[in-house]
Amino acid sequence: MTTSPVHVRNLKKQYGTFTAVDGISFEIHDGETFALLGPNGAGKSTTIEILEGYRDRSSGEARVLGTDPQHGGLDWKSQLGIVLQSSGESGNVTVLEQLTHFAGYYPNPRNVAEVIDAVGLDGKAKTRIAKLSGGQRRRVDVALGIIGRPRLLFLDEPTTGFDPEARRQFWELINQLKAEGTTILLTTHYLDEAATLADRAGVIVGGKLVDIGPIDDIGGHDARVPLVRWRQDGVVREERTAEPTALAARLYAEAGGEVPGLEITRPSLEDIYLDMVGNHSAAQESVAQDVRGGAA
């Protein structure tokens, strides 16, 4: 049996004839931050809900902290921290009251005041949750997710509603948790967030895992080849090359001076992700059209 905190093999979830998760496999290592990426409806949230024990799988294998999540008891649940896309926290209690109440569920909770400070709500501790802004309520969600000092933390779109400063503060908090040895499974639509926080990522499109690996390797070598763009005779030209500096030097020599509009762009994780999702979505649609055509 694997000792990885998260172990998934050939995981499937079907709703009638619709397959939401289609045979995906991955592992998450101790102390690792793993980002699960994909467009809306790709199967990310379904996968996480299965691992959290909220939803049963149709087939395949899943182990979370050594336990089948379909049969996890209270001791198992106490080792998890969960930040859902939305929450149902009571608006009639204060931030301090809510966190103090939740801390009582865990055998070794964090200090409530320290958690409130860590999520940037130190000035709102005695404010009723109903009076908080959407972004501040999201910080309460995060605080509730980490109050129990979890071994494994699920973060499903955690910074939705955060302003840029709050997102940066949240990143610092996650890096602190990681330094303490917390294993983290993250989903986010902010690709810069994934690039900053994650050690590895998996990309799901149409329920299938289409790529997995270290953040700097996602998409493969060819996807990371720099693009050189310049203007020549009034026409914008571009060329992908593994030696952009050499190409720029040649263009400079040919022009006898400055090259109009010269720029070198190295693909970001977002560029690579969008190309990957677009290519796989187009391929899936082509297959679906072939199937429909064959059935006609």
Per-residue pLDDT tens over the stretch 71-110: 999 999 999 999 887 666 567 899 999 999 999 999 899 9
Note whether 11 and 120 are same-domain residues: yes
Secondary structure (H, E, C), the chain: CCCCCEEEEEEEEEECCEEEEEEEEEEECCCCEEEEECCCCCCHHHHHHHHHCCCCCCEEEEEECCECHHHCCHHHHCCEEEECCCCCCCCCCEHHHHHHHHHCCCCCCCCHHHHHHHCCCHHHCCCEHHHCCHHHHHHHHHHHHHCCCCCEEEEECCCCCCCHHHHHHHHHHHHHHHHCCCEEEEECCCHHHHHHHCCEEEEEECCEEEEEEEHHHCCCCHHHCCEEEEEECCEEEEEECCCHHHHHHHHHHHHCCCCCCCEEECCCHHHHHHHHHHHHHHHHHHHHHHHHHHHC
**Does residue 217 lie within any of the structural domains?**
no
Q: Give yes or no for residue 296 having a pLDDT over 70.
A: no
Query: Residue 10: pLDDT above 90?
Result: yes
pLDDT tens string 112-154 = 999 998 888 989 999 999 898 877 888 898 899 999 999 999 9
Indicate whether 168 and 69 sit together in one domain: yes
- Please compute the mean of the pLDDT values over residues 219-238 and round it to a whole number: 88
Indicate if the pLDDT at residue 186 is higher than 50: yes
pTM over 0.85: no
Is residue 153 located within the same domain as residue 38? yes
Residues 208 and 264 in one domain: no
Asked if pLDDT for residue 283 goes beyond 60, the answer is no
The predicted structure's pLDDT at residue 285: 59
Are residues 203 and 227 located together in one domain of the fold?
no
Within a domain: 144: yes
Q: What pLDDT is recorded for position 32?
A: 96
Please compute the mean of the pLDDT values over residues 273-286 and round it to a whole number.
73
- Residues 185 and 53 placed together within one structural domain of the fold: yes
Boundaries of domain holding 11: 6-212
Q: Do 25 and 143 sit in the same domain of this protein?
A: yes
Q: Which of 178, 212, 246 is the last residue of a domain?
A: 212
Query: At which of 212, 234, 251 does a domain end?
Result: 212
> Count of domains in the chain?
2
Percentage of residues of the chain with pLDDT beyond 70: 92
Q: Examine residue 1 and state whether it is found in any structural domain, yes or no.
A: no
The reply to whether 67 falls in a domain is yes
